[in-house]
């Protein structure tokens, strides 16, 4: 296919528009959502740091957080060092209650009884 010289600039403009629409805009939306999530970190939140530490926020300032990573161990962390805020998981039920809820099969296949 031969492109005429007069339509080449139009083709480049359309190609640039597609690039912005498909790559740049979704990336900006993701970055904005991540910034908002990190700015809403509050005391009691459980976070994962960029370095892989998991801790609970015990104090929060504008630029830094204090994380408790073990009982009695508190570290200072720049707010931008937080990779993600972890969501609380549902508490697990005790094993005894889970086992009690499981019903044994009435009859096993091939059981001679």
Name the token pair of 54: 């998991």
| Segment 40-86, tens digit of pLDDT | 788 988 999 989 999 999 998 888 899 999 999 999 999 888 888 88
Share of the chain above pLDDT 70, in %: 73
**Coil, strand, or helix at residue 40?**
coil
Residues 46 and 33 in one domain: no
Residues 56 and 35 in one domain: no
CB 57 within 8 A of CB 44: yes
Residue 94, in any domain of the structure: no
Q: What is the pTM for the complete model shown?
A: 0.54
Q: How do beta strands 73-78 and 64-70 pair? A: antiparallel
Residues 84 and 65 in one domain: yes
Residues 65 and 36 in one domain: no
């Amino acid at each position: 296919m031969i492109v005429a010289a007069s339509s080449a600039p139009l083709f480049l403009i359309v190609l640039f528009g597609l690039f912005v629409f498909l790559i740049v805009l979704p990336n900006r939306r993701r970055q904005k959502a991540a910034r908002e999530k990190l700015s809403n970190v509050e005391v009691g939140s459980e976070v994962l740091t960029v370095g892989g530490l998991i801790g609970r926020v015990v104090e929060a300032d504008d630029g830094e957080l204090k994380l408790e990573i073990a009982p009695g161990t508190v570290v200072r962390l720049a707010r931008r060092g937080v990779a993600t805020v972890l969501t609380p998981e549902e508490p697990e039920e005790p094993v005894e209650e889970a086992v009690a809820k499981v019903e044994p099969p009435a009859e096993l296949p091939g059981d001679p009884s």
